[in-house]
Amino acid sequence: MAKEKRSYEEKTADPAAQEMLIRADELGIGTAFSRADDMVPCNIGGAGMCCKLCGMGPCRLTKDGQTGVCGATIDTIQARNLIRAIAAGSAAHSDHGRDMAFTLKAVANGETEGYVIRDVAKLRVVASKYDIPIEKRSPQEIANDLADLYLSQFGQQRGKIAPVIRAPKKRQQLWEEQNVIPRGIDREVVEALHRTHIGDDQDPVHILQHAIRTGLADGWGGSMIATDVADILFGTPAPLLGQANLGVLKDDMVNVVVHGHEPTLSEMIVAASQDPEIIAYAQSKGAKGVNLSGICCTANEILMRQGIPAAGNFLHQELSILTGAVEAMVVDVQCIMQALVDLASNFHTQIITTSPKVKLKGATHIEFDEHHALTIAKQILRTAIDNYPKRGAIHIPQITEELTPGFSHEYINYMLGGSYRASFRPLNDAIMSGRIRGVAAIVGCNNPRSKQDYLHTYVTQELLKQDVLIVETGCGAIAAAKLGLLLGEAGLDKVGAGLREVCETVGIPPVLHMGSCVDNTRILTVLTQMVEEGGLGDDIDKIPAVGLAPEWMSEKALAIATYCVASGAYVIFGGSSPVSGMPDRVEDSDIILRYISEGWEEIYGGKLEFIKDPDEMIRQTLAHIDKKRAALGLPEYDPGRFGRSGDNRMLEVEQLPLKARREALYGVAAD
């Protein structure tokens, strides 16, 4: 039986998206929103109570004490399902990291077209962490060695992957004791698949121990490599002005939307779009030029480095095509809906696949190769330009918001202490004094089963009122951007008084955009630096901080959650749990749900919980932050204690009659 249809306002909090959903209905075209309404999720599979790992099944365990044909119990089945999802997420992030390392190697050896090493300083810093010699060596020599080291992490068979040395010492020791330090990135993913084959590992706790190791191979391995190399090749992000939402599409230009994850191709498309020859070609077809925008994490990558606008997050991929104004959507890997090709056939839009790993039936494939990157980028743009004269009726919602993305941990370090005294001290001090109550990382996807952007932005706004500093990545960051929460002082009047003082003093927005999904590793780096700075405990699990993915949907999100838990963080997911079980109907079907909370917390100090109600998410976030503050012996959070300085005081002074105002400002009542 189909679910009841939701109204446009129930489907999305974004007015631009509502406008496009109305258009979709007028044109009789389905989207993920309508398909989610039509497709009721299977409650047995959704609760993790189904196994289809072999031909004796699928086995659905819906009665007390029931086992699969092989005798597998429900907790074993759930643990196996969960680790497989974590392995897939780790594989996706890490394979992205591998390709970045291959590109670095090729750039170092002069084999690419169009790439340079943009951030030599970061190259030297990263290489030094691994004792790669840097003095009297060219950037290419250093990059070649770093690329070799990073590439070796994937196929390494024994020992420890190199980037784990960047975690706090105490955390490394804990991982050592628990035997969860990844030996090689690929090895852990392969072993997760091996262990979950019929007739292998059937002790759920043992399976989930390896889930931790597989997650760590992502966070302190593949993803960290992806972030490092992207910064080295394309520049470490620093704040700049950007725009978000569908209004960034232009009615008089060739609109090319880049969607996916890897910055290698999109950076080259940015360069090609500014080439006079390409602009002239676009003009020859009647357009003013080429207008680039991004979707998903590709959007974040080129937004934070080049200021290229974001057309939207995950659920905007179909909506952007519905405008009728997109000449080409260029995709690489991850989060690309198969529905795009069919949807695009209603318009002139061409879907162009570019990765040797990802093809869509019916799409145009122009394979990317970093050795000829600029040539291929121009070929893609010419294909899009050739499509411009075929454009039919268009409807672009005139809705955009400005934002300031680009808060890498290097920039946060700099902004807190300047070039010569770069430091996290002011942030730690602000948390210790209670001006900032704690930190929340709000990250992750959109999910059409919940109201798009609502959970992200509601939780963000409520936590800001409670003096919680927010950092964001991925589609969550784009959700906040679309609501105008990522812009300088905008919305500071809705922020707790203590946090507001800090933001005004340092000159930062209260919500910091830290990048794409692989850039959640920047958050690990920030947390490690906070530990090393002192005053907030000797490990990440002591810091008053929480991670949230209110609208998660991808397996990558589960991998991120796992490495964050293993690093000591409390992670809250919205929506439904893939291991919820049905404890009211089937005995012991929530053992795994409880284990990844209580069991993991006992070992790692971090835990993963699934909470549907946003107010409960907020309550649990604040309770955890306050618990961590109390454990550190920090003063109890007092919302009325701060906020008597800075702009707040100036606003009060401005309200005074002239004489009193002068007295307040100058100490004398001048005539």
Q: How far is the CB of 407 from ligand SF4 (least distance, A)?
A: 17
Q: Which of 37, 39, 18 is nearest to 319 (CA)?
A: 18
Q: How far is the CB of 196 from ligand SF4 (least distance, A)?
A: 9
Nearest 5°: the CA angle 610, 333, 310 is 75
Q: How far is the CB of 304 from ligand SF4 (least distance, A)?
A: 14
Nearer to ligand SF4, 77 or 86 (CB): 77
End-to-end CA distance of the chain: 79
SS3 assignment, position 451: coil
Q: How far is the CB of 510 from ligand SF4 (least distance, A)?
A: 21
Q: How far is the CB of 176 from ligand SF4 (least distance, A)?
A: 30
Q: 230 with 263: CB under 8 angstroms?
A: yes
Q: How far is the CB of 206 from ligand SF4 (least distance, A)?
A: 17
Nearer to ligand SF4, 53 or 230 (CB): 53
Q: How far is the CB of 289 from ligand SF4 (least distance, A)?
A: 27
Q: Which of 112, 98, 96 is nearest to 268 (CA)?
A: 112
Three-state secondary structure string covering 563-618: HHHHCCCEEEECCCCCCCCCCCCCCCCCHHHHHHHHHHHHHHCCEEEECCCHHHHH
Nearer to ligand SF4, 53 or 486 (CB): 53
Q: How far is the CB of 300 from ligand SF4 (least distance, A)?
A: 8
Region class of 605: left (phi > 0), else alpha (psi between -120 and 50), else beta: left
Give the binding site for ligand SF4 (CB under 6 A).
51-54, 56-59, 68-70, 72, 77, 198, 296-297, 313-314, 335, 444-445, 474-475, 517, 554, 556-557
Nearer to ligand SF4, 328 or 477 (CB): 477
For residue 496, the cross-strand partners are none
Structure tokens at 240: 């700049």
Residue written as token pair 């043992």: 206
Structure tokens at 227: 């972030």
C-alpha 616/C-alpha 602 separation (Å) is 22
* Kind and range of the H or E run holding 503: helix 497-506
Q: How far is the CB of 368 from ligand SF4 (least distance, A)?
A: 19
Nearer to ligand SF4, 296 or 591 (CB): 296
Q: How far is the CB of 363 from ligand SF4 (least distance, A)?
A: 19
Nearer to ligand SF4, 51 or 180 (CB): 51
Structure tokens at 533: 């700075």
Cis peptide before 58 (omega within 30 of 0): yes
Residue type, 221: G
DSSP state letters, 66-82: ---TT---HHHHHHHHH
Neighbouring CB atoms inside 10 A of 126's CB total 26
Give every CB contact of residue 299 below 8 A, 6+ residues apart in sequence: 258, 259, 293, 308, 310, 311, 312, 313, 478
Nearer to ligand SF4, 150 or 314 (CB): 314
C-alpha 138/C-alpha 223 separation (Å) is 26
Kindly give the pairing relationship between strand 59-60 and strand 468-472: unpaired
Residue written as token pair 């010569």: 420
C-alpha 573/C-alpha 258 separation (Å) is 28
Q: How far is the CB of 89 from ligand SF4 (least distance, A)?
A: 8
Q: How far is the CB of 261 from ligand SF4 (least distance, A)?
A: 7
Residue written as token pair 């879907």: 351
Nearer to ligand SF4, 56 or 205 (CB): 56
Q: Which of 410, 437, 374, 399 is nearest to 311 (CA)?
A: 399
C-alpha 60/C-alpha 73 separation (Å) is 11
DSSP assigned state of 56:
T
Nearer to ligand SF4, 16 or 51 (CB): 51
Q: How far is the CB of 297 from ligand SF4 (least distance, A)?
A: 4
